[in-house]
Each structure stands twice: as C-alpha cells, then as structure tokens.
Amino acid sequence: MTLTRFHSLVCRIRLPIHVFTVALLILLNGCTSNGPSCKRLFELTWSQHSPLQQDVTLLSSAKFEGRKTGTQGAELTRQFLISRMQSIGLQPWNNTYQHPFEYDYQFDTRQGVNIIGVLNATQTTQDWRVVVAHYDHLGKKGSRLYPGADDNASGIAAMLAMAAHASTQPRPVNILFVATDAEEPGLFGGKALVDQLKLEQSNPNSTQIELTVNLDMVGHPGRPYSIYVEGRRNFTQFDAIQQRLEQTVGLCVRANHPPEAGRTTQRVDWLRASDHYPFHQAQIPWLYFGVPPHADYHQPTDSANKLDYNFLAAVAESAYELLIIDSYLLKK
C-alpha cells in the first residue's frame, strides 16, 4: 500500500491525528527494515557458475545412480568427493577422508560413510567451524532415477566452492568440511559425526565448535527470490549476522521458512529436517541454509537443468562469510 493511499484511507475513516501518526510511523518503519528487495542481480566476487554447474550435473547424472546410501552410485560419489578435496588442498580428518559408521534401519544394520576434509587456521587456534552438506539421495526405484540435483548436489557444490575459496584465503579458525551420508533415511551421517565430536579426545570436540553451517537444497529458489536461514535463536546477534550475509552479494536472506502456499501454519519441522538437528541436540550452534520444498523435491524431475546457478553462487559466497565472521557475533 502506498503512503498516498494510506493517507486517503485514514482521512476517509476519520482517525484521530495521534492514531494516524502512530500508524504512519509503523508503516514507515516497515518500509525501511525489510532488507534487500530480493533482487536477482548479485555482486559476485569469487564464485563462478561453471564449476558449480559442472559439479551438480555430474553428481546428478545417471552414472551416479541417485547416490543412494550403500549403492555403487554412493561409492562413485565418495571417490569424486575425495578427489575434489585433495585437489582443493583439504587434509584428511584423523588420517583419512572416510568416516564409516553403522546405523539401524528397518530391522537391519546398515553402513554409511561420511567424507571429511580439514583446512587449518592460518594461525594456531582451538576454534573450529563446520560446514555440512549431505551427498546421499533416493537412488533408483525400478526404472525411475531420482537425480537429487537440488537435494542435495547443490549443497555439495556450494560446500566445495566454499572450501576451494577458503583454501586461498586467510582463515581465522579451523574448518571441517563434511559430506554426510544416510541423511535421507534418518540423519544418520550427521548423528554419527556428532557422536564422534562429543568424544573428549576428538579433534575437534564439540566444545571447540563455534558454528555449524548446514547446506541442504540451496539451488532452486522460489518466490520471494530468497535463501532461508533457520537457527536464529542460537545467536543473540543474529540480526547483525543476517545483515552481514545480505551485504555480501545482495542476496535476500529470510530468517525461518514460510508456511507452504495455502497454509497458515508450518507443516515441515525445520528443526528436525536435516543434518543440523544432531548438532542442535548436542548444543552445538548451527545455521541451516535451504529453500522451501518445490515441485521437483524428491521427484525424478529434480535435475541439474532446473537449478539457478546464479542463485547458487550467491548462496556460496554469502555462506562463506560465516567462516570468517568475527567470533563475538556467534556468542550467545
């Protein structure tokens, strides 16, 4: 509603002047506090569309069979991830890039493998931050292939881009880059990782982690043209963090996902929706980047050509700021 129409409406209904003044101040405040206008032209400085698209296209190709946990497609994905981490310069965690684990599922014990690489801080510190993106998806069901381009080849591509850039820049903290397995059947890779981090002898252990950034479905924006960030309650200075993210490239950052179209209440439990939840249970601070569910979510149509690589690049650059942001902003 424009100010002219607002003034006309107030005059017609003959509001007292003090009521009009208060209402006008509220309206003006709303007009100046909405942040970016969710523009589509970003001021990118280091991320490039081409490598992001190449990673997503490869991971969601038929060769990788939908990356279901325990399949040949998952093994090919692990080989790809290890090769990429090595080329970036990430070091293996605990002398290996592979973090195997077992989990119980449907009256059976199954195995998964997280892939983990490390970038140490420029100067020695005990502080750590973690970037998480799950690499598994739904695989094949009969003749139907579920490519999982947005869910979650997009998060993996963004994480690799962030790692590649971080490897060339000064780093105030140590960073753990984790591609988790078995997220789809029940967040099992995230749970196994957190169980390891909770051990006193683990390096890092949970008490040393300032922040975990979870990237899950970050390439298929809806309307408004925004990335949604869950976890604001973990940080007393979230408003300053949000402003820093928005100022990076001009990406619109919305705190908390909106209800689905036609609904007034939230149907998705975003707290338990992805690998940030085990970190939440362990009281490790976290922020979760994602887009709302879309028509291609968990469908054979979730393909590489459906993604917006300009948006994905903007997410990668914005999320990267959380790896270099001042530690005091992350304190409770």
* Packing angle, helices 72-88 and 49-59, rounded to 10: 150
Q: What is the pLDDT of residues 40-61, one digit of tens each?
A: 899 999 999 999 999 999 999 9
Going from N- to C-terminal start, the domains of the chain cover: 1-33, 41-330
pLDDT tens profile 218-264: 999 998 999 999 999 999 999 999 999 999 999 999 997 776 655 54
pLDDT at 263: 55
Q: How far apart are CA 257 and CA 229, in angstroms?
A: 7
277 contacts: CB under 8 Å, gap ≥ 6? 187, 190, 271
- The whole-number pLDDT of residue 331 equals 84
Per-chain mean pLDDT for the chain: 89
Q: What is the mean pLDDT of residues 13-23?
A: 44
Tokens describing residue 51: 């490598």
pLDDT tens-place string over residues 134-163 = 999 999 999 999 999 999 999 999 999 999
Of the pLDDT bands very low, low, confident and very high (cuts 50, 70, 90), residue 37 is low
Structural fold of domain 41-330: Aminopeptidase (3.40.630)
Q: What is the dihedral sign for C-alpha 45, 241, 286, 176?
A: positive
Under the banding of pLDDT at 50, 70 and 90, the label for residue 35 is very low
pLDDT confidence band for 28 (50 / 70 / 90): very low
* Mean pLDDT of the region 110-126: 98
Task: Give me the pLDDT at residue 119, please.
Answer: 98
